[in-house]
Amino acid sequence: MKGCIIHKPDSVDLAEEVLKFLAKIGVSAEILQDWSLAKDFDFIVSVGGDGTILRLLQFIDGKTPPIFGINTGKVGLLTHCDANFREHLLKAIEEFETEEFMRIECVVDGERLLALNEIAILTAKPARMIGVRIFIDGIEIEDIRCDGMLISTPIGSTAYALSTGGPIIDPYIESILIVPVAPFKLGWKPWVVSANRKIKAEVDSEAFVVADGHRSVLADGDSEIVVRKSKSYAVFFKMENRIGRIVEKLKLIR
Catalytic residue ranges: 50
* Cβ contacts of 40 within 8 Å, gap of 6 or more: none
CB 152, CB 179: distance < 8 Å: yes
175: left (phi over 0), alpha (psi -120 to 50) or beta: beta
Q: φ, ψ for residue 146 (rounded to 5)?
A: -165, 175
d(CA 19, CA 5): 7
Beta carbons within 10 angstroms of residue 178's beta carbon? 22
Q: φ, ψ for residue 160 (rounded to 5)?
A: -55, -40
* Cβ contacts of 44 within 8 Å, gap of 6 or more: 3, 4, 5, 6, 38, 56, 64, 65, 66, 67, 68
CA dihedral of residues 40, 46, 48, 53 (deg, nearest 10)? 60
